[in-house]
A = this chain, B = another copy of it.
Amino acid sequence: MPEFIFDKWTEVYAKKTRSLQSSPIRDLFSVASRSDIISFAGGMPYTKPIAAEDIVAATQQALAKNKDASLQYCSTDGHRGLKKHIIDFLKAENIRAHEDGILITMGAQQALDLISKIFIDSGSVVLTESPSYVGALNAFANAGARIETVAMDNNGLQVSALKEKLKKLKKKPKFLYTVPNFHNPAGVTLSAKRRHELIKLAEAEDLLIIEDNAYSMLGFDESSNYPALRSLSDNIVYLGTFSKILFSPGIRLGWVLAPKAILEKLAIVKQSSDLCTATLNQHIANEFLNLKPWPKRAKQMAKIYEQKKNVMIESLKKYFPREASWTKPKGGFYVWVKLPYFVDTAQMLAEAINEKVAYVPGAGFFPNSEGKNYMRLSYCLPEPKEIEEGIKRLGKVVKSRIELYRSFSKYRR
């Protein structure tokens, strides 16, 4: 919570600024980074397997090849050499891309911001899953969007619910934002059948889809690698990122693959947002991928995350009360936990921090007042031993909350 600050500029702020959405993860950042706390809060990739020597070697190589270009501004759309790696990466998902169809961004979050800028006016309707990635919700809301949601289940977005929603809406939605793979925060994956149904519906209704594939290549089992929506249709704005396996979040690199007319507009707003993506980072990432081809690391990382996921699921079974339930991710970083309706996870957080364990309360992942009894647990960063210990601590907090409620209810009766 920010302290009270005297603000003499109130009357000059933009209208939308008066109701800015702050991220619950941002508010949690300083406490969740404390070394004495086991944090399941941030979706922070496990960076230990990346060797410092490889980054230094990539930096050296980039500067040796073309120091002055690496230190200069570059073209807004991005470095051609790095685009070749992106094209190669997309090929593994059966997506054919051309370098002119790609815009390199400062992380996929910037892509969400640029998309908000070109599509969202104050009051525009935007469709998201319920729950949805908090960074997307905030980017859309801060641009002035009215967010309408579509329900999910263990097979991801319910396409039939989307169809109903489209019938009810009085205003044409600007787009549907979806995370089909290893959903953030829900941990579920859109089934192959529904992917085809979704594409069919979107084409019939002229609905633009924003496909956020941040956790691409992080499936635990090849049989659950369903086709990317972008591999089934060209009318998709596809978001990718270097944060998870291609490099790391500290280098802030992502990309958008979009129909050319949309890409041209995104590039213009990117120019006024930051001129260009950091050239040095693009050159370093390019050389890093030259030195260390990604497919091997993708497999290694998926294995590591699968093991962590297993520890978390086993620990949940062991330490959480039977009133709790959770999703079983086929890949990615997150388990989505449901507690009894009377547990408010935002209120419970202080107790958890007291027990030296952190998570993200569920409400932040909904644009309305839903989700109070949910929590997102990220197993990506802690070591397996910490995961077990953290879930043990958290289980204790959850159990005591449930008992507290029960004892109150008893007196109330």
Contact B42 A67 (CB under 8 A): no
A50 at the interface (CB under 8 A from B): yes
A164 at the interface (CB under 8 A from B): no
CA distance A64 to B106 in the complex (A): 25
Excluding A5-B261, A33-B75, A252-B276, 10 further A-B contacts by CB distance (< 8 Å) are A5-B260, A9-B208, A12-B208, A22-B268, A26-B267, A47-B68, A71-B248, A251-B281, A252-B279, A281-B281
> Interface digits, A218-257 against B, CB 8 Å rule (1 contact, 0 not)?
0000000000000000010000000000001111100000
- Name the residue on B nearest A57 (C-beta): B56
Subset of 23 A-B contacts with CB under 8 Å: A8-B235, A8-B259, A9-B259, A12-B175, A13-B118, A13-B265, A14-B121, A17-B265, A20-B269, A21-B268, A26-B76, A47-B68, A52-B64, A52-B67, A55-B59, A56-B60, A72-B248, A110-B274, A113-B272, A138-B271, A248-B280, A273-B273, A278-B278
A163 at the interface (CB under 8 A from B): no
| Copies of this chain | 2
Contact A252 B274 (CB under 8 A): yes
> Interface digits, A335-359 against B, CB 8 Å rule (1 contact, 0 not)?
0000000000000000000000000
CA distance A275 to B122 in the complex (A): 22
- Name the residue on B nearest A139 (C-beta): B272
A11 at the interface (CB under 8 A from B): yes
A130 at the interface (CB under 8 A from B): no
> Interface digits, A63-101 against B, CB 8 Å rule (1 contact, 0 not)?
110011011111110000000000000000000000000
A124 at the interface (CB under 8 A from B): yes
A residues contacting the other copy or chain, number (CB 8 A)? 92
- Name the residue on B nearest A118 (C-beta): B17
Contact B59 A272 (CB under 8 A): no
CA distance A156 to B268 in the complex (A): 30
Q: A12-B172, A113-B272 are in contact. Are A73 and B249 (CB under 8 A)?
A: yes
A16 at the interface (CB under 8 A from B): yes
A70 in complex: contacting residue of B110, B206, B250, CB < 8 Å: B250
CA distance A21 to B75 in the complex (A): 17
- Name the residue on B nearest A114 (C-beta): B273
Contact A250 B280 (CB under 8 A): yes
A327 at the interface (CB under 8 A from B): no
Contact B72 A249 (CB under 8 A): yes
CA distance A122 to B269 in the complex (A): 16
Q: A63-B56, A252-B274 are in contact. Are A14 and B72 (CB under 8 A)?
A: no
